[in-house]
Amino acid sequence: QVQLQESGPGLVKPSGTLSLTCAVSGGSIGNSHWWSWVRQSPGKGLEWIGEVHHSGRTNYNPSLKSRVTISVDESKNQFSLKLKSVTAADTAWYYCTRGDIVPIVFFNSYAMDVWGRGTTVIVSS
Amino acid sequence: SSELTQDPPVSVALGQTVRITCQGDSLRNYYATWYQQKPGQAPVVVISGKNDRPSGIPDRFSGSTSGDTASLTISGAQAEDEADYYCNSRDSTGNPSVVFGGGTKLTVL
C-alpha cells in the first residue's frame, strides 16, 4: 500500500523559499501517476498547487505558477515543492498526493487516492 | 482556469438524505471526485468516477452528474458523516490543471 510522507521546515521567513519533500513508500514514483501538492490555509478550503509526472512533466496552478517549482527524484522515490517569495498568505497545511486519470467511455475521472498526513508551514519572521 | 462552485453549509437530520452539489464547466469532461475531510485529518475519497466508492466507504454515499453539475448524496446520514466535503476534477482546456470546489460543511443534527 502506497504511503506518502511530507517533510521540511515548519517555519519559513517572509520573502524566503518554502521547500518540502514527499517521500513515497510502498510503491514506485515511476508508475504513471500525477504527484501533487495541495495546501489548506487555516479555516479555508483545499488549494491545488501543482503536479509532476515521473517523466518530469509539470502543471501548476496559474495563480502560483510564477513562484512554484515541483520536481521528481526517481532515484530517491520522492518529489519536492519549492515556493519562493513567500508571505504570511502562504501559511498553510501542505499535503502531497497521488493522482490518477482514468478514461471512462466519453468521460474521464481524476482522483487523488493517496494523501500524506500533511505538514504545517508557518511564514513568519 | 475553470472553477468549481459548491453549496454553502448544509445541515441534515440524523437518518435523513442530503445532497451536495458542485457546478463547473470542467465537469462536462471529467467526473467529479468527492472528498470527505474531518477536522485535523487529510481528505479521503468517498466517490470517484461515475459513481464508485473506495473500499470502506459506506453505500449510503452515491454520486451523479448532469451536464455541468455533480451531486453527492448521502442517504440516511449518520453522525460520523459530519465533515467538510470537497469536489475536484481536472480542467483540460488550455494548460492542464486541477480544480477544487470551495467545500461544503455538512452538519448532522
DSSP code per residue over B21-56: EEE-GGGGTEEPEEEEE-TTS--EEEEBTTTB--TT
Cβ separation B42–A118 shorter than 8 A: yes
pLDDT at A31: 82
Residue B75: what are its φ and ψ, rounded to 5°? -95, 110
- ∠ Cα A25 A99 A115 (to 5°): 50
Query: Which chain A residue shows the shortest CA-CA distance from B55?
Result: A113
Under DSSP, is residue A92 helix (H, G, I), strand (E, B) or coil? strand
**Summary mean pLDDT of chain A:** 95
Residue B43 pLDDT greater than 60, yes or no: yes
Residue B1 pLDDT greater than 60, yes or no: no
Count helices and strands (H / E) in chain A.
0, 11
- Residue of A102, A112, A117, A120 to mutate when probing chain B, most B C-beta within 10 A: A112
pLDDT single digits (tens) A35-85: 999 999 999 999 999 999 988 899 999 999 999 999 999 999 999 999 999
pLDDT at A5: 98
